[in-house]
Structure 1
């Protein structure tokens, strides 16, 4: 939405685009471009995401951002659910059968200029910062993804196979194997073999 202001869209009355007041108006704009069945799925996704976030421990430094993101999802879902319950979207908005399939190659166009006109630059920037901060927190928590060769190394070492034998099985020299393992420990954020195997086991990276 920030791009819309660069093209002359005037700021609107809602300073915080995560409030119920904002979303009660925003949902009418969604209905002009998104099939009602798609809006229903979005509401479910927001509800599921909000519930999942409720079960997580919130770092103290992230409390404000966390509150904004959960409020956005809660109010967006609630407004969509109320809008759908009214029956108006079914008669007014595009039906899924009348619209192209919703894909990355063929998305529906959301009227971002209309959404931007409901709020302010500062409000939009604050929402974006909160979303980025929460996303970065989840990304940092996520266990690293391992390549098949890395998983095999860990499994063989966890089974007690000597490093020299693992190197031979995988076509490495012993020196090269130590280099590969050093990279793997760095990737896992650990200092060595014992810690690496403990972390990989605890996070389900190996069976």
Structure 2
């Protein structure tokens, strides 16, 4: 595990201390040491932050994947921007989660990535993620759903009975953009249809 905040490392180690399926064989605080650790111990999976001293997680992932293509890489970071996700996936990452998603999400991500699946945090860049979704992709589910300010704005308009076309006109956006936001919210909220999204929006109307 590579993370420049030792407190987070200690928390993860403490949580998995008695887990029979997960054995943390080493931790480091920068990308250079991560490459050295992987070369020495060749673990099945590594967890790495993106922004770290000496060498970032993206560059470290590139080096590791080139030398050890069989090793799975899980990115755990605060960056939810599409560019960061794209760079990390292109570097060879098999999963991507946010640090504020919680330890249970991390446990699920580790299990999925270890089994050869691609794992996505439910709250990261759904527009970007759509291009990667297939039968071998797991999307995590979290009790804590993080809707963006734009999504909350659209949800409020949905609760007021506005159609995608009307919302697009009022926000000066394309209707296809609103439709994409709707799909993303359905996925994030673990709903099954547009009608369920409308019901959810009405139920939450005065909580925005």
Q: TM-score, normalised by structure 2?
A: 0.35
Larger radius of gyration: 1
Q: Which has the higher strand share?
A: 2
Q: TM-score, normalised by structure 1?
A: 0.35
- Structure with more relative contact order (C-alpha pairs < 8 Å, separation 6 or more): 1
